[in-house]
Amino acid sequence: MRIVLAEDHFLLRDGVIRLLEAYGNEVVAAVESGPDLLAALTELRPDVAIVDIRLPPTFTDDGLRAALEARRRVPGLPVLLLSQYVEPLYAHELLADGAGAVGYVLKDRVFDGGQFVDTIRQVARGGTAMDPQVVSQLLTGKDRDTHLGSLTSREREVLEWLAQGRSNAGIAEGLFISEKAVAKHIGSIFTKLGLQPSDNDNRRVLAVLAYLDR
């Protein structure tokens, strides 16, 4: 994969570059600020961007803003946010266009290089990869919603796994239930949320997250 990395901490940036290259990827640009990120993404159009949310010059949401603007200029540009913080608002903003190819991973929860690279590939292929803690906070704050409140505890579990980009088989394995049971739960979830189910895993995840963003 051709990757643009945006990270202002030298040691972390250097470490991520080494990790990515060890798995056969090419880091075509490694930048430290929002403006440099936007320029690199629009000029180089990489297979995926790995972006820290808080970059110079303001150290607030410069990385996210640059990524969002780049996706406006290059629709569907894959972006994986790599942050120290669970900030659901930023996840909402990244998912808002419904184009897919997005992810949100917490830095202190990356424990395995191979798994991290697999997550990057998933986003690069157009999938959605959300850290379970991010998904949990997306769901928490919506408990007042009567539709979401109508889900059973098992359906909420399935919904969380869906939001992480898992397939039916992956959910079945993780929850120790059959794929047939997973399909039944998914059908019930979409019925209760007023959403149409889809055979495309990415689209159904985006539909669920789009609903949670309302």
What are the tens digits of pLDDT across the range 48-98?
Answer: 999 999 999 999 899 999 999 999 999 999 999 998 887 777 777 777 766
User: Is residue 50 within 8 Å of residue 78, measured between CB atoms?
Assistant: no
Instruction: Name the residue among 192, 197, 204 with its Cα closest to residue 165.
Output: 204
Q: Tell me what pLDDT residue 118 has.
A: 93
Using CA atoms, how far apart are residues 7 and 89, in angstroms rounded to an integer?
Answer: 20
- pLDDT-derived band at 33 (thresholds 50, 70, 90) equals very high
Using CA of residue 40, residue 36, residue 48, residue 140, what is the dihedral sign?
negative
Q: Tell whether the model's pLDDT for residue 13 goes beyond 90.
A: yes
The closest alpha carbon to 163, from 100, 87, 86, belongs to: 100
Angle at 101 between CA 96 and CA 102, to 5 degrees: 60
Q: What is the pLDDT of residue 200?
A: 53
User: What does the mean pLDDT of the chain come to?
Assistant: 84
pLDDT for the residue 144? 44
Give the pLDDT band of residue 162 (cuts 50, 70, 90): confident
Give the percent of the chain with pLDDT over 90: 50
pLDDT average, residue stretch 37-45:
97
* Residue-level pLDDT at 143: 47
pLDDT at 197: 53
Q: How confident is the model at residue 3, as a pLDDT?
A: 98
Of 100-114, 124-138, 140-154, minimum mean pLDDT range? 140-154
Question: What pLDDT is attached to residue 121?
Answer: 95
Asked if pLDDT for residue 204 goes beyond 70, the answer is no
Residue 180 has pLDDT above 70, yes or no: yes
Buried b or exposed e, range 104-124, using 16+ CB within 10 angstroms: bbbeeeeeeeeebbebbbbbb
pLDDT at 213: 54
State yes or no: pLDDT of 24 exceeds 90: yes
